[in-house]
Amino acid sequence: MKKISEFTGITENLLAFREEVKDAEKITFIGMPGVCSPFALLFAYVVKEKESVFISGTDIKSARKLKLTEQGMEFGESANPHADVVAILGGLAMPKTNIKPDEINKIIKNVLKKDGKLMGLCYMDIFREYGWDQKLNFDCIINGTLNGFILRK
């Protein structure tokens, strides 16, 4: 894969995602509950006009619709996860999850429509750090880097 552009900040991160899925009708996010689920809700918010679904870990039966409410995006009822874009969230690649790329590839085969787009959404280059970029056939990876500091009085 080659780098095609750069961005800074969460707003540009979200806009990069929105641009990548502009032609999609439905997006299914796959990630870890607690770690990835807030990010799925955030990314789904910037494409709130599209249908979005979240799968927890490797449990396809956990698929839930992401719906817009007065408070933002929230998890709704059970949903069919079959989509034209599947977005794999980086928390899946964290070693403590004990999830292997082969397990995710099986889910992708069942969820991603033919000629669909497989995306990676991650921070701190986790997919390349753990070799997932070589084991999943990503069409696109959007990677953000977090830098921070603490101020104290």
pLDDT in tens, 119-149: 999 999 999 999 999 999 999 999 999 888 9
pLDDT at 147: 85
Average pLDDT over every residue of 34-61: 97
Strand 26-31 and strand 51-56: the pairing is parallel
User: Which CATH entry fits the domain spanning 9-144: 3.30.470.10, 2.60.40.10, 3.40.50.1950, 3.40.50.2300?
Assistant: 3.40.50.2300
pLDDT over 90 at 81, yes or no: yes
Domains of the chain, residue spans: 9-144
- The beta strand positions in 57-130, using DSSP E, are 59-69, 72-78, 83-89, 112-123
Helix, strand, coil: what percent of the chain each, to 5? 30, 35, 35
Residue with tokens 């070589």: 134
For residues 32 and 152, the answer to whether their CB atoms sit within 8 Å is no
